[in-house]
Amino acid sequence: MLNRKGSLIVLSGPSGSGKGTVLGEFFEKYADENVFLSISATTRNPRPSDIDGVTYYFKTVDEFKNMIKNNELLEYASFCDNYYGTPKKAVEDKLNSGVDVILEIEIQGALKVMETTKDAVFVFICPPSVEELEKRLVGRNTETLDVIKKRIDTAKWELTNIEKYDYLIVNETVDDAASKLKEIIDAQRQSVKNNKEFIKTILNEVEL
């Protein structure tokens, strides 16, 4: 295997875009051992299907604020009255070992990563229409109508940020969206910027 640095893939999109489902399909069908899904920390309450340390690291507000204070987060954001953030060390360790890291984070957090991390690749997952997005949010039946309304209002603002991203995946079918994510990651693995060690080696041979 070529000695290369891993790619940081920042995946985000509004609630109801299906980004979690797309990621699940990607890891089931397409991912290999050199792709790592970063686990975010959050202060929101767990849903019935959530598992601490697998879905999220569930933290109290005080615990999360201590992580901010100790500079333990790559990014963090407040969303619908809860904190979300990415623990820094695990991401850096994986990238330095040549593993690609996917961050599934809120758009507020992605915008912060854009400011601080020049080599990250940003992928926006989008529903086919705003109408479909609203339908998906209501169909979850996991939140109150007030929370759903807040998520819809937030989603409309989030959609205005699409042009700041490198890639757009319209999630019409989950399998097609997951396949497109694989194509993006494959392309990053072949990029010049992520294969500098090989390039250095081959250029040294040319000089000989």
How many whole angstroms separate alpha carbon 206 and alpha carbon 110?
40
Q: How far is CA 66 from CA 60, 62, 72, 83, in A?
A: 10, 6, 9, 12
Q: What is the b/e burial string over 67-98, where b = at least 16 CB atoms within 10 angstroms of the residue's CB? A: beeeebbbbbbebeeebbbbbeeebeebbeeb
Average confidence (pLDDT) over 69-78:
91
Q: Which two tokens stand for residue 175?
A: 């399998």
The model carries a pTM of 0.82
Q: Confidence band (pLDDT; 50, 70, 90) for 43?
A: very high
pLDDT at 11 exceeding the cut of 90: yes
Average confidence (pLDDT) over 35-55:
90
* Best CA proximity match to 73, nearest among 37, 103, 51: 103
pLDDT at 1 exceeding the cut of 50: no
pLDDT at 142 exceeding the cut of 70: no
Percentage with pLDDT > 70 across the chain? 96
